[in-house]
Amino acid sequence: MTTHFEFRQFFDRDTWTYSYLLFDPLSKEGILIDPVFEQVQRDLQTLRELKIKLKYTLETHVHADHITGARALREQTGAKIVYGAAAQVACADVLAQDGETLTFGSTNLRALATPGHTNGCTSYLVENLVFTGDALLIRGCGRTDFQQGNPETLYHSIHTQLFSLPESTKLYPGHDYKGVMSSSIGEEKAFNPRLGQNKSLEEFTQIMNQLHLDYPKKLDVALPANLNCGTA
């Protein structure tokens, strides 16, 4: 399938975070998914060099591991800040409902509510690409042991919203800790150790409840900052 937009994937080494720039090559209108505060100057330089007018910054959820660059980018570019409606972030310009469509250039983007890691988790579907934040990772998924996490909710979100997409849909997550940059819905349905091979809700819940993960290092700073769109 031929896409009607251009696409860049960025990485923040300190927090293992991926950000994604998508833009229309004709109108030069673009969006940036999950910008990182410490990388705002990198992002602005890219926008200047490619002559992109940033229309939206889109957050997949209220992050606990890094501070978003959304507010700083809004101040510099006028880009509107988008969160999923259930995130209830008062400073957002757009609170996207499940199924809501946004546009940049000639391209449509659809918000998919994928709660379970947090209440406000939202994935974004653009043609044959889906940006899943922390809901569905490459051979993994977001943790469910804090910040409104719920294994049953996440299981249903992934199965109804993401695993229902065509298996050829390319998947781009919010993080990867092994250097893998992308996957596909088909790959995750086959090989994801927590969800693949038609694992039941009971199996998934048992796996998630036995992870015993460390407390996020930046949570106490990142959460209040991100509820204010990135004011540290």
Q: Which residue has the tokens 């199924």?
A: 99
Task: Tell me the per-residue pLDDT of 176-189, one tens digit each, with 9 for 90 and over.
Answer: 999 999 999 999 99
Q: Is 104 exposed, middle or buried (0-12, 13-18, 19+ CB in 10 A)?
A: buried
The residue type of 164 is: S
The pair of structure tokens assigned to 152 is 């049953």
Quote the pLDDT of residue 80: 98
Q: Is residue 73 part of a domain?
A: yes
CATH of the domain at 143: 3.60.15.10
Determine the structural domain holding residue 116 and report its residue range: 6-132+139-213
Task: Tell me the per-residue pLDDT of 63-118, one tens digit each, with 9 for 90 and over.
Answer: 999 999 999 999 999 999 999 999 999 999 999 999 999 999 999 999 999 999 99
Per-residue pLDDT band for 232 (boundaries 50, 70, 90) equals low
Quote the pLDDT of residue 217: 81
Higher-confidence residue of 147 and 59: namely: 59
Q: Is residue 48 part of a domain?
A: yes
Distance CA 191, CA 138 (A): 9
What is this structure's pTM?
Answer: 0.96
pLDDT, mean of residues 195-215 = 94
Quote the pLDDT of residue 214: 85
Q: Tally the domains of the chain.
A: 1
> How many other β-carbons are positioned within 10 Å of the β-carbon of residue 181?
11
The pair of structure tokens assigned to 131 is 């940006």
Q: What is the mean pLDDT of the chain?
A: 96
Are 102 and 111 contacting, i.e. CB atoms less than 8 angstroms apart?
yes
Task: Tell me the per-residue pLDDT of 186-196, one tens digit each, with 9 for 90 and over.
Answer: 999 999 999 99
Q: Is residue 67 part of a domain?
A: yes
Q: Is residue 222 part of a domain?
A: no
Per-residue pLDDT band for 231 (boundaries 50, 70, 90) equals confident
Distance CA 108, CA 116 (A): 25
